Amino acid sequence: MKIAVIQGPNLNMLGVREQQVYGPMRLEQIHAQMKEFAEQNGIEIEFYQSNLEGEIVDRIQECYGDTDGIIINPAAYTHTSIAIRDAIAAVNLPTIEVHISNIYRREEFRQKSMTAPACTSSIIGFGPFGYHLAMVGMMQVLSEITAIRAAQQGAVQE
């Protein structure tokens, strides 16, 4: 099982920017915790962060045929990027959107996600722990997909 973690703009500044909103934890610390959980569960995990929309689209597209699922925090692009939404839809992989803050308790312009409708699920407002919840959720989603495919193959063979 291989999961790609894709981080959007300004997340490289976690621990520095707006700690009252995002907390003191740095992105490297979040990734270290995710890597440890992945290793404990036999999951291959890759991390990617970019401040550029086109690079995020490229990375999503690179997941096609190479990755089982995507955990993404599009950050500010959540509210504006049809291109990222379309890339998620195009690769048709289980995708969980994560937001550290509760976007529904923030400014009105942050309360609409352009990307969520293309995602399998969203985890919002749990702080950095949301990434752990996304890992657990992704394991469950991929397990269910595996079970459905096995059942379908069994039905075909009968």
Residue 137's pLDDT is what? 97
Report how far residue 118's alpha carbon sits from residue 87's, in angstroms, rounded to the nearest whole number: 9
The tally of CA atoms less than 13 A away on the side-chain side of residue 32 is 5
pTM: 0.91
CATH 3.40.50.150 is right for the domain spanning 2-157: no
Residue 54's pLDDT is what? 98
> Alpha-carbon Rg of the chain, whole angstroms?
16
Beta strands in the chain (DSSP E): 2-7, 44-49, 69-73, 95-99, 121-124
> Could you tell me whether strands 69-73 and 121-124 are parallel, antiparallel, or unpaired per DSSP bridges?
unpaired
Q: What is the mean pLDDT of each run of 10 residues along the chain (158 residues)?
A: 97 86 88 97 97 98 97 96 98 97 78 92 96 97 92 76
SS3 42: coil
Active site residue 22: yes
Closest CA to 105 of 80, 127, 132, 84: 127
Residue 155's pLDDT is what? 73
Report how far residue 43's alpha carbon sits from residue 118's, in angstroms, rounded to the nearest whole number: 24
Residue 101's pLDDT is what? 86
CB burial readout 12-28, b (16+ within 10 A) else e: bebbeeeeeebbebbbe
Residue 65's pLDDT is what? 95
Residue 57's pLDDT is what? 98
Spot the catalytic one: 31, 77, 79, 99: 99
Spot the catalytic one: 22, 31, 64, 77: 22
Residue 102's pLDDT is what? 86
Report how far residue 14's alpha carbon sits from residue 24's, in angstroms, rounded to the nearest whole number: 7
